[in-house]
Amino acid sequence: MSPNQALIQALAQIRDDVRAAHAYPVASSAGMVKLDVMENPFRLSPELQAQLGQRLGAVAINRYPAEGTQRLAAALAAYAGMPAGCAITLGNGSDELITLLSMAVSKPGACVLSPEPSFVMYEMSARYQGLKYVGVPLREDFELDGPALLAAIHLHQPALIYLAYPNNPTGNLWDEALVEQIIQAAPGLVVMDEAYQPFAERDSMALLARYPQLLLMRTMSKFGLAGVRIGYLIGQQALVAEVDKLRPPFNISVLNAEAGLFALEHAEVYAAQAAELRAQRETLFKALQAMPGVQPFPSQGNMILTRVPDAPATFAALKARGVLVKNSSAAHPLLRNCLRITVGTVDENQALLAALKESLA
């Protein structure tokens, strides 16, 4: 058998749906004003960077993670205000937790449901685990379509429902009363994905005490540690214990766990950064509102979904001017001509506004 024939034979063993799919795109941002993914733009001060370096340098990297991961889980539970009777498990970012949840409910005929547009990994993870996925479109104003969602829950009896809170990419929080109706109607698990909780005016932690089928998912990425990849899931002990069975035993590295602990010890620094980004979000929103032909949508995250006359052309023009945003216009029909703009520093936001003004002209 020739090498080419051997490769063809090997590729034939890969599932057809995987071969037909596209990898999650990550754009190169070298030399750009990077406003395409929802990162915290602030770095630590040189003093804290040096302290962190010393901490990481003292870590026993010859050992598998164990106690450090446990300490991080306990610190995150305390930081988040985890209610009594609940437990916490960690993931290599929220993405791994979403995969674990899909695996946990992966029975023949099981269904995952989410409003759309929302985080793409809900659907990707469900389909790769052989689950049926049902997306229920939002209203034109990006609010939940309550009757449609409740009807879909009744019809499809989903094993797992995702509610991103705030939603990505629209940035809005859902109506609290409707959220409770959805939880009450759910025949299985409901996951409140609070990735953007540091920038939102409210969260759903209090709901955990009332609804045992509810799980709360958060991440340290938006806290300011996107490169560290730590997500966490909180819910009733019995439920989290089942998900935890699927978690790889050493999924959080000793370096990442130590970096997470260090960040929580300096939570006030990250809280100040989040406050600054919230203030910059409002300034940026008003500036976008004042631009002719531009429609920004109110946000409780660290991004602003913005409709422009021609999103692909504007995206290309911004990129040519050294500013990288996310072209969301092809992701869902409701996102026609929409760009998703991450809130950056004062200088980054000013560069974005200047480039956008030129691009639209």
Q: CA dist 51 to 47, 61, 231, 265, 274, Å?
A: 6, 18, 23, 12, 22
Burial of 35 (0-12, 13-18, 19+ CB in 10 A): buried
**Residue ending a domain, choose from 230, 250, 265:** 265
Q: 97 with 207, same domain?
A: yes
Domain-embedded: residue 324: yes
Q: 237 with 316, same domain?
A: no
Q: CA dist 143 to 138, 146, 165, 214, 329, Å?
A: 6, 9, 12, 21, 18
Q: Residue 77 is part of which domain span?
A: 63-265
Q: 259 with 287, same domain?
A: no
Domain-embedded: residue 15: yes
Q: 164 with 281, same domain?
A: no
**CATH number for position 190:** 3.40.640.10
pTM above 0.75? yes
Domain-embedded: residue 79: yes
Distance CA 284, CA 293 (A): 16
Does residue 316 contact residue 357 with C-beta atoms inside 8 Å? no
Within 10 angstroms of residue 130's Cβ, the number of other Cβ atoms is 13
Distance CA 323, CA 321 (A): 6
Q: 230 with 333, same domain?
A: no
DSSP character for 70?
H
* Tens digits of pLDDT across the chain (361 residues): 888 898 889 989 998 888 888 887 777 777 889 999 999 999 999 999 999 999 999 999 999 998 889 999 999 999 999 999 999 999 999 999 999 999 999 999 999 999 999 999 999 999 999 999 999 999 999 999 999 999 999 999 999 999 999 999 999 999 999 999 999 999 999 999 999 999 999 999 999 999 999 999 999 998 889 999 999 999 999 999 999 999 999 999 999 999 999 999 999 999 999 999 999 999 999 999 999 999 999 999 999 999 999 999 999 999 999 999 999 999 999 999 999 999 999 999 999 999 999 999 8
For the chain, the first-to-last Cα distance in angstroms comes to: 60
**Structural domain total, the chain:** 2
**CATH number for position 333:** 3.90.1150.10
**Residue ending a domain, choose from 265, 282, 308:** 265
Does residue 160 contact residue 137 with C-beta atoms inside 8 Å? no
Domain-embedded: residue 103: yes
